[in-house]
Structures are given as structure tokens and as C-alpha cells.
Amino acid sequence: MTAGISGAAPRDGTFRRRALPGARVLDTVLPVGALPLVLFFAAMLLAPIALLVVYSFFEPGFFTVIEVLTVRNYRLILSTALYSTILLKTLGVSLVVACVIVVVGYAMAYTIVFQLGVWGPRVLVLVMASLLSSYIVRLYALTTILGTNGLINQALIAAGLIREPLGFLLYGYFAIIITLVYVYLPIAVLPMFASLQGIDRRLVEASRDLGEAPLRTFVRVTLPLSMRGIRIAFAFSFILASADYVAPQMVGGLNGQMIGAVIADQFGGASNYPLGAALAVSMVVGFAVVLGGLLLLEKLLRLALLHAPRRAPRGTPAPVRLPGLPITQAVTVLALLFLFSPLLTVIVFSFNGARNPGLPFQGVTLHWYGQLFRSADFGRVLSTSLLIGACTVIGGLLVGVPAALALARRRFLLRRPLELLALGPIAMPGVVIGVALLTSFVHVGIRLGVGTTIAAHILLVTPFIVLVVRTRLEKMDPRAEEAARDLGSSPRRAFRTVTLPILTPALLGAGILAAAISLDELLVTNFTIGVHATVPVWIASQMRAGLTPSLNAVAVLMLVGSLGLIGLAALAARRGRSTRLLTTLAEAA
Amino acid sequence: MPRERPSRGRQEMARQNTGAGGGAAALTRRGFQAGLGALGASMLAGRARAAGLTLAEVQAASGPVNILGAQTYETPASWPKDLQVHWAYNTTNEEILTKTTQPGTFDAVIIYQGEIDQLRKLDRLVPVQTDLLEDWKLVAPLFRDASVIRRDGQVFAVPFHWGYGYLEYNSAKTSAPRSLQDLMSPKLTKKIGLPNDPYAVITTFALFAGYQNANNLTRDQFNATIKLLKSFRPQVLTIHNYGDEPALFARGDIWVGFPEYSDSIVLCHKAGATAVKSTMLAAWSYVDCLMVLKAAEHVPAAYKFINSCLSTASQELTTAHSLAFPVNDAAISALPKELQYTSSEAVLKNAPLMPGVTVETGGPDVPFQEWVQAWEEFKAA
């Protein structure tokens, strides 16, 4: 196989193609495949965010900005205890959340990859399934579990372990951290799972063969090789937890005020857009400082370890043994219980005879399901959600897959900026994206509605699609496609008959992930949906009149629907099992 | 996001240049654009002001109408059959302002009377021609003649439903609080829930502080109110969303909650918190209104929709669905027995109707923006 025939096969797996000189020059800067993403993100993310950054340097008017340049907003943030304290508090809480998530998630990923054998993918499916339901309803279920007369307190009192309910479980930092860990743990397990699965087992075996104890093998081989996954998981958890203000408000009581809520309020009742914009910019700078500082710390630690004087071996080293307890398995079981107890609560309380979606439980009824199916509103918002979800998946794949192909197969000048751009929507708080998009759509006169929401959702799901598809492509042996080319297939036929079948599970996985994100998205949708409504917007609007068990029923239907979708996708992929599809998704993440 | 330029004079000049007296030589590109904008705005405004609109046109209106309001008022059975009502939801009061940013998206909004000044400040509201509403006469005079729905002598908001913010307590855990001192009892420390609503909470504390004009607070009064609110912090367990309080009472998390919506007590009982009772301590009233937006694209249909909301049949349906008090007294019977009242005057005597907070800065009253800022500080303290 030579590069001369196929035009590819450098050692790093990237491809080169013969092309016209002009196109070749363009390819070395930015491949054509990346253009849809670049153009789309430039219009939907960079321009609105740039507008917001500019606004952060303007004077506030009433729901307006006055175009007088000033640094007043930033000075206010630095000089006002309220903003600096709340920013630091948010970053601090998120740091704790990210640390807990990485430790617990790593133990889960380790168990799934190294200790569960064929059961590993099934457990991964369970972890993923915990995501597939309404975010708000799952949060609400947590309050049913943690409340003063909640399930935990009642169980502890019934067991005689306590006399009075534990007050700290809900409405405080404990509840905020527990809830944020609950929400973002499944997402963080995936990258760590992928990096652990990518480790060549022979390296671990070689370490053991050379006499290293399991713990030392873990510290010197497994952990360093999985650091990329840990870094990604940490960054995801940290950023997502920092930007989340709905969960802390719901369970945090007086401590539940986070910077995201303050930003949202500036774009609401406080009517101070410039200050809101400056706070958003400060928040993103805070992310960069914390994550950059941690990366630097990691590098310094590595350097210190590298240059640390080694002790001369004295005879046979004493083996360092892991305790005989199955620690990681126990953590995994407890974490699964933790992830599933709110879902089980949602399912059980969807049959609650009382009007309340939580305790007390007053008999079994199917009333709420019946009410839901009879509701014309629900039918309307569901069809809107499904339409938006379907278009988002198609649009996201059209934008994301060519970019993923470019990132996986090409070396070009703007590769690193493109990688960062593709992750941009994840690093930006939802409320900021929502406000920025609303501003931009109004500015250019695009009517808000289903179309603008689809565009917004495509923006939100594309990073995940790029991640999933790109990683799958990178894991794919480039020689397979080259072999087809060497045997006379045209590039198009080689792609259709070789690459596409290999890529199909990743495409389906990415599509499912995109659909799940789209169907549960609220923060951005609320700004872009105009005269329409989606299921999450409908649920949020119901909160004001008091939640009922019909919302639990909605969540159960969403869960069943999502699992059904996974099953159908698995069938479509002719894999027969959803586990493989999700494994692909996790590998890619 | 609309932008304001500091040099208004230049824009004004440009606008004048586009008029009959303006010379072509003086017409700049920006001036031309501003002129076009002004022309477009005046066309829209002309349309939305219902100039020349007749009662017959309103009665004959059909087709789409876009409404923004709370889900609790969404009762399709009460809508005229020849209207295609597209209902969009707001979850907070302030969302009315962000969601109406784009002109023409909505024709009418449903929100409490306190938002009139904010919407007017943003130039999004037009006065309502009540002579185009056949059922205007069905609105109880108390609301029809209320000053809180008028600005500069014109009606800007059509009363739809009303209610009052009151105090709820779990009678199985505590006796009825009769004063702020009762609420400060150590027994109630971390047992009280407040809604995440600066308007409602600060209004209540202004009443606690003894200011009857609780929406019109001078700087000193405002500072005293906020000081009182901050001193109350140890008693507070939750700052929750409206609608959460039935679950909070049912789970036993809170023993006292205020200010609450009219239907809250019924929802608490339905949720299993049967010992919850209410008092009128520091109570005040609000009226949710229908308002026509300046850039409305379906003005006759909007009027037809608004008129239909006032009929007895429609008020009965929305009352039964929302448990909010009707402005048409004939629909009071649609309320659950425990919420029914004999006279709205008597209720309003104990819970005065509030006008809303100004958004104008530099006047004698502290503007609403500062209320929100103070609320942020209270929550984050």
C-alpha cells in the first residue's frame, strides 16, 4: 500500500488527497469539510458572543445599552463583594463537584472497563439511561428523597437510626453538591471510560509481569494513560456545574444563589444587560483561570515526579497491595443506586393518587397518564419538541460530521482553533447563549420560533456530535479504506462501503445524544422559541401553578421513548443490542 | 437587544430631515435609516393602536392571534372558535419583557398590573380602547375603574383575574402568626419559605415595616425595608419558585410561607398538607391583566380574544382552571368553596391593590431595578 496510489497513509493516520493547488492551499489552512461548522458557529456563536462582549463595555439603559464605552461593569464586579463572592462561591462549589465526580466516575469507569467483563457495556447503558429523562423532574425527585420528611429521613427514622429528621440533607451546600454530582456524573463517566478502554492491556500486563504490584501498576501505568479522559471529565463537570443555576436554586435554599442566576437576573428584572454580559465574560474567564491553573499544576507535579530522586532498589521491592475489598465495585454499585433512585422515584410517583408529584404517596392511579394523553397542550408541545429534535439531529449531523472528518483525517493550520471552536457551546453558559441569540435574532430581524430554536439546538448538539464521530474515526484503522481504494474502489464507493458502515453506530449514537439534549433543553429554548413551546418550556411554565404527578408521567414517557429510540437505532445498525451502540458512543466521548 | 445612542439630537434631526420640510442634501444614510425606522414604527403603532378599528371588525375577526401568558390561564374551551390562539408561556414576570423583545411576535400578553410601567418604558404597550370590548361592562367596577390599570388617564390593561398575596402556616406545627415578631420566633428559625419574587417579598416587608404605599418607597423607606428583610434571613429555609410551596408544606420542610397565591392553600390541601391555614397578615392584592402590544399584527383578533376573556362563561372556565379570582363577579361561584368570598371590596380592604413599582430613575421612589439588586444581595448574603 503506497501513499502514491491512495493518497494517504501517513503514520499518524491522517489522510492527504491530491487536489488542485488552490484547494490544496485552502486544505492546509482549513479543509472544506470544516466550513459548514465554521460558518454556522461564526453566525450563531461567535457573532452573538462578540456582541455580548462589546455590550459588557457599554453603559446600562433600561433593557438597553447606551453606547458609551466604559469599564464600569468590570470595576463593579471587582469592587462589589456580592459579585466577586458569588463568582468565587460558584467556582468553589463547582471545583468540589468536579473533584467528587472525577473520583466516583473514575471508579465506575475503571470497574466497567477492567472488572465487569461482558457486563461492562450493560452497566454503561444503565449509566447512560439515567440521563434520559426530564432534568427538572429528576431534580424534583431528589427533593422527595432528601426532604425533611423525605424518603431517606423516613427510612432512617423507621430503622431507628435517628429520632429527628436530618436537616442538612436538603437546602444547603451538601444538597447543592449532591445534586450537581447527580446531574453531571453520567456525562463525566463517558470520557474516562473511553480513555481507560483505549489503554493497551499489554502495557498493564507487562507492568505486572515485571513484578509491579497492582496499586503501583495503576499509579504508574493506568492512571497516566487515562489522564486525558480525566481532564475532559473534570473540565466538563466543572464548566457545566458552574453554569447550572436551576439545580442549586431548587435544592440549595439560601445557599442556592449561583453566578448563573445573577447573570439571568441581569437580563430579567434587573434590566442591566451590560452588567450581565460582563458577569458572563468574567465567568468564562474564571473557567479559563481555574482550568488553566489546574493544568499548570498537573504539569508541575509531573515535572517534580520526573526529577524526584529515585530510591535505589534494595533487593526485592516489597509489593504494594490493594486492599482485598472490592472498593471500585462497591463505589459503582452505590453510584448506580444514587443515579437510579430519583428515576425510580419519578416512576413510582407518576402513579401517586395525591396531586403532589412527591410525598405523601396516596394510593395508585393512572389518572395522570390519562390526563396527559387527553391534554391537547401536551400533544402540541410534544409535536413541536419532536419536530425540533428531528431537525436538530439532521442539522447537527450535517454540520458536525464533515468537521469531525476534517479533524480526524486532516492536518491543517487552523486545526487547534477549530477544535476549540467546536467545543465553544459547551463552555458557554446556556443563559448567555440564549440571551446572545435572542439579541442577534432580533437585531437582524429573524422571527423567533421553531426555526430559530432548531438553529440554536444545532449549535448546542454539534460539539457532542463532533466528539463522538471524530473519536470513532480516529479509532478506525485507515488501512481498511485504503485497501478498498487499492482494490479499485472510487473514493465515494470506499466511503460508502467501508467507512460508513464502521461509522454508523457512532452516527446513531451521536444522533441519540443530540435528540436527548434537544428534547430536554430549556435555558436557550426559552429565549428562542417565540410563540411556540416545547415540552421543557411547558413543564417549566407548569411549575408556577404547582407541579403535579403528570410531570412524572411526562418524564417516564420520555425515558421509555428514549430507550425505545436506542433500541430502534440498535436494530437499524443491525447490531441487535443497544449496548454496543452506547459503547461506541462512550468510546467516542 | 435594542440600543440607545447618547446623541439623541442627531437622530431627531435626521428624522426631521426625512419629513416634508427636510432637504435632500441634508439626508444622511443614518438619518435615512432612522427615518425609515420611525416610519415603520409609526405604521406598526398605527396598526396596533387600532386606529379606525370598529366593533364590527372586532366581532368579525378570525384567524391567528398570539398570546403570551401563564399556563394556568390557558383554557382553549373558553376561546372564540374562529380564532386560532397560539399560546406561549412565561414562567416569571420578567420573561414578559424578554419574550416581547421582538416586535410582532405576540399580539397580547397576560401579566400583573405592575408590569405596565416596564412595558411602557420599553414602548411596547398601547392604550386599550375599551369601547371595542363588548363585555367591558361585565368587569366589576372596582377593577374597571381602578387607577392601577390606567396611565395618563388611559386604560393600558384589561383586568382578567385577581388575587392576593397572603401568609400560610402549618397549624399542626405553629399557631397563626399575628405579627412580624411572631414570625421571628426561634421556633420558626429555618422553617419559613419565601418565593423567588423580589416584587412580592419586598412589598410584603414594606407592609411589615409600616409603609402602606408599599410600591412607592422613598430611599429611606426602601433602606429600612431591606434592613428588616435582612434581619429576617435566619428564619428563611427556602427561596423557592411559585408552585413549590404545596410540596414544601407537604414534605414538612417549611411551616410558614408568604406571600402566596390565592390558589396556594387549595393546592396545599390537595397535596396532602391538610393542616395548612392562611392569615391576612401583611396581605396585598394584584390583578392579572390583558394588554395589547404596540407591534401586534392581529389587533382585531387580539381585541376579540380579550373581550371573550371577560364573559361570564369564559371567566367561569378560567376561574375553575386557575383558581384565580374572577374580575366578573358572576363567576365567583366557579371558585372552590374555601376560596369563595362575598365581596371583593372587603378583601381588598384587608389586602390593598398595589400599583406596581416605578422603573424611572431619579424620582422620589426607588425604581424596580434597585429592588431586584437588593433582592440579589439578600439572596447571596
User: Taking CB atoms and an 8 Å cutoff, what residues of chain B touch A251?
Assistant: none
pLDDT of residue A19: 52
Size of interface A-B (CB pairs under 8 A): 208
State yes or no: pLDDT of A16 exceeds 70.
no
pLDDT at residue A579 in the model:
53
In this predicted structure, what is the pLDDT of residue B66?
A: 97
What percent of chain A has pLDDT above 90? 31
Mean pLDDT score across all residues of chain A: 84
pLDDT band for position A21 (50/70/90)? low
Distance from the Cα of residue A461 to its chain's centroid: 10
* Percent of chain B clearing pLDDT 90 (strictly above): 71
pLDDT above 50 (res B371): yes
Nearest to A348 by CA among A186, A123, A520, A144: A144
- Give the pLDDT band (50/70/90) at residue B42: very low
B189: cell is: 428559625
Q: How far is CA B343 from CA A197, B139, B324, B371, in A?
A: 72, 14, 15, 33
Q: Check pLDDT > 60 for residue B209.
A: yes
Instruction: Look at A396-405, A487-496, B309-318 and tell me which has the smallest mean pLDDT.
Output: A487-496
Residue A346 above 60 pLDDT? yes
User: In the predicted model, is pLDDT for residue A137 greater than 90?
Assistant: no
pLDDT band per the 50, 70, 90 thresholds, residue A358: confident
Helix (H, G, I), strand (E, B) or coil at A264: helix
Across the interface, whether the CB atoms of A447 and B102 are under 8 A apart is answered yes
A259, A524, A544, A552, best to mutate vs chain B, most B CBs in 10 Å: A544
Q: What is the pLDDT of residues A269-317, one digit of tens each?
A: 788 889 999 999 999 899 889 999 999 998 888 888 777 665 555 555 5
Confidence band, pLDDT 50/70/90 cuts, at residue A15: very low
* Segment A162-171 mean pLDDT: 86
Q: Where are the beta strands (DSSP E) in A233-382?
A: none
Name residues 206-245 of chain A within 8 A of B (Cβ): none
Query: Is residue B49 scored above 60 in pLDDT?
Result: no
Share of chain A above pLDDT 70, in %: 89
Q: Using the structure block, give the residue that is written with the C-alpha cell 419559605.
A: B193
Give residue-wise pLDDT tens across range A534-559. 999 998 888 777 777 888 898 888 88
What residue ranges define each of the domains in chain A, with the CATH number in brackets? 28-61+368-589 (1.10.3720.10), 71-302 (1.10.3720.10)
pLDDT beyond 90 at B315: yes
Residues of A whose CB is below 8 A from B33? none
Q: What is the mean pLDDT of residues A69-83?
A: 92
Residue that has been written with the C-alpha cell 441634508 in this structure: B26
What is the predicted pLDDT for the residue at B102?
92
**B119-176 pLDDT per residue, tens:** 999 999 999 999 999 999 999 999 999 999 999 999 999 999 999 999 999 999 999 9
β-bridge mates for residue B61, sequence order: none
Q: Which of B36, B71, B111, B298 to mutate to test the interface with A (most CBs of A within 10 A)?
A: B71
Rounded Cα gap, residues B376 and B381, in angstroms? 8
Angstrom distance (rounded) from CA A184 to CA A563:
20
pLDDT at B14: 36
Q: How many of the other CB atoms lie within 10 Å of CB of A476?
A: 18
- Among the ranges given (A27-41, A172-186, A463-477, B347-361), the one the predictor scored with the smallest mean pLDDT: A463-477
The band of B12, judged by pLDDT with boundaries at 50, 70 and 90, is very low
Q: Which residue has the higher pLDDT, A517 or B216?
A: B216
pLDDT at B287 over 50: yes
pTM across the whole model: 0.82
Enter the ipTM: 0.78
Model confidence at B20, in pLDDT bands (50, 70, 90)? very low
How close is the nearest chain B Cα to the Cα of A511, in Å? 28
Of B70, B247, B270, the CB nearest to A541: B70
**Is the pLDDT confidence value at B312 over 70?**
yes
Instruction: Give the integer Cα–Cα distance in Å for B87 and B68.
Output: 6
Q: What angle do CA A289, A257, A130 make, to 5 degrees?
A: 80
Q: Residue B322's closest CA among B334, B306, B340?
A: B334
C-alpha cell at A516: 436527548
pLDDT for residue A581: 56
Q: Which residue has the higher pLDDT, A149 or B153?
A: B153
Name residue A428's amino acid.
Answer: M
* Residue B6 CB neighbour total at 10 angstroms: 10
DSSP state of A45: I
Nearest-by-CA chain B residue for A261: B376
Give pLDDT, residue A576. Answer: 45
Residue B300 is predicted with a pLDDT of 97
Confidence of residue B217 (pLDDT cuts 50, 70, 90): very high
Q: Is A546 on the interface with B (CB under 8 A)?
A: yes
Query: Which tens digits make up the pLDDT trace of A493-531?
Result: 888 888 888 888 788 888 888 988 899 898 899 999 999
Task: Please state which of the ranges A481-490, B55-64, B199-208 shows the lowest mean pLDDT.
Answer: A481-490
Residues of A with Cβ-Cβ distance to B369 under 8 angstroms:
62, 269-272
- Cβ B122–A62 below 8 Å, yes or no? yes
* Chain A environment of B251 (Cβ under 8 Å): 143-144, 147-150, 358-359
Please write the tens of the pLDDT for every residue from A198-249.
788 899 889 888 888 888 888 888 999 999 889 989 998 999 899 888 889 8
Length of chain B measured in residues: 381
How does residue B3 score in pLDDT terms, banded at 50, 70 and 90? very low
Sign of the Cα pseudo-torsion (B352, B355, B357, B363, in order): negative
pLDDT of residue B233: 95
Residue A586 confidence class, pLDDT cut points 50, 70, 90 = low
Least confident range from A126-130, A142-146, B52-56: namely A126-130
- Looking at per-residue pLDDT, the higher value among A252 and A125 belongs to A252
What percentage of chain A's residues is helix, strand, coil (to nearest 5)? 75, 0, 25
Distance from the first to the final alpha carbon of chain B: 31
Cα–Cα distances in angstroms (integers) from residue B144 to residues A195, B157, B310, in the given order = 68, 10, 11
Mean pLDDT of B237-247: 89
* Mean pLDDT over each residue of chain B, to the nearest integer: 87
pLDDT at A271: 82
Residue keyed to cell 376579540: B304
Helix (H, G, I), strand (E, B), or coil: what is residue B126?
Answer: coil
Chain A residues lying within 8 Å of B76, measured CB to CB: 376
Which A residues 445-464 touch B at CB under 8 Å? Answer: 447-448
Q: Which residue has the cell 419558585?
A: B241
Distance CA A551, CA A347 (A): 10
CA B308 to chain A, closest CA, distance in angstroms equals 20
